[in-house]
Amino acid sequence: MTAAASLIGVSPVAARRARVRPPRHRGPVRLAVLCTALTVVAGCGSGSAGDDAGRSSSAAPLAGCSTESTVNAMGASLLPIPPAAVTLIDAGAQPTAVATGSPDLARAQNVRLVTTSASSSTSEGQPRSDTAQTVDLPLTARTLCTDPTDVELELGAASSPDPDLSTSLAAVRESKAGLAVAGGSVPISLRIVPAAAADDAARSAVEQSLVQALQRSVTLPREPIGVGARWRAVRTIDGAATVTQTITATLRERTGDTLTVDVQVDEEPVDSVFRIPGSTQTLTIASFSMSGTGSMTIDLSRGLPSAGELTVRGGRSLVGADPARPLVQQTSTAIRWETIR
């Protein structure tokens, strides 16, 4: 268990290599990426992400949209985003309307994503292991001028309370990223193109922050909804432990294209297998719990949430060769979005 203990945490590199399993039943959906990881990508119209290659930017650009795409950029890391199957539980009060919008090509969106992840591992006969990481990541989002299925991101002056990490993060300023959006405004992948000067610590921290926001995302239903509407979004996330994630969302308020959505997140493993990252070894999941709540403000004309917070906490007990000496781990992830004025 000693060797396993240092590998149990979900590392940024492991997150990049996580496989994504599509839901068994996939109807037309509209994904609002919540930062937790839930990040929101909304109002980008329809189109095919298969058009990523060979995009043209010959059309006269509007202020606030991007004339360049990170598609096929050298050195880009491509991270799949698990889709979600949505079931509308209650359409809410009248008046109801489909949550659609058009991307704002006239103004760039400036937001800050702050993620904090922490874990604590204990096992009989071994010292307790604690890790924590906070990343403060300013982002500028622009839709590609010639393609509403491409949301381009520019990273600002990232920082962290950890002095060493903050020094590393200084080099990621002006790094690029992008979201590929399929028909129905469903994000299907994230591209990250780090600045050449960024070291592994900075690249991993940025990657983990964005992936955490995207993997806990809420999906808007395609049906008309009003205040009080409730729906359920289910996705499967493959990683060290393959989990089924259920997000229950409630539309608390809507003013024009701006929606305030309360969310409840619950995750449970699909089986008892825990694969140690970077190894062929496995442990058995003896117990598992993961849940959280939050609220997101979604502007349907924007590519990312304009505000919101989500905190997910839980734990798991992992058993190896000696069932009497389980490895017990407590984890938490907090995600916050805010608009930069």
pLDDT tens digits for range 90-131: 999 999 999 988 889 999 999 999 999 999 999 988 899 999
Q: Which pLDDT score is estimated for 154?
A: 96
Residue 52: beta bridge partners? Answer: none
Q: Mean pLDDT score of the chain, rounded to an integer?
A: 84
Q: How far apart are the first and last CA of the chain?
A: 49
pLDDT confidence band for 182 (50 / 70 / 90): low
Structure-token match 């505000």, residue found = 307
At residue 12, the pLDDT reads: 42
User: Residue 260 in contact with residue 229, Cβ under 8 Å?
Assistant: no
Domain ranges of the chain: 2-51+63-339
**Among 142, 160, 244, which Cα is nearest to 204's?**
160
The pLDDT of residue 80 is above 70: yes
Distance CA 59, CA 65 (A): 12
pLDDT band at 48 (very low <50, low <70, confident <90, very high): very low
- Which one, of 301, 95, 115, lies nearest residue 215 by Cα? 115
Q: Per-residue pLDDT for 243 more than 80?
A: yes
pLDDT above 50 (res 37) = no
Q: Regarding predicted confidence, which is higher, 49 or 135?
A: 135
Residue 73 predicted with pLDDT over 50: yes
Its CATH architecture, for the domain 2-51+63-339, is Roll (2.30)
- Determine the pLDDT at residue 31: 40
pLDDT tens digit string along 299-336? 988 888 999 999 999 999 999 989 889 999 999 999 99
Residue 139 phi/psi, 5° resolution? -135, 140
User: Among the listed ranges 173-182, 205-214, 288-297, which one has the minimum average pLDDT value?
Assistant: 173-182
Comparing 68 with 12, the larger pLDDT belongs to 68
SS3 104: coil
User: Which one-letter amino acid corresponds to residue 2?
Assistant: T
Q: Structure pTM?
A: 0.82
Per-residue confidence at 49, pLDDT binned at 50, 70, 90?
very low
Residue of 144, 236, 246, 245 whose CA lies nearest to 191: 144
Query: How confident is the model over 262-286, as a mean pLDDT?
Result: 96
Give the bridge partners for 283, in sequence order.
274
Helix (H) or strand (E) segment spanning residue 71: none
Contact yes or no for 175/192 (Cβ under 8 A): yes
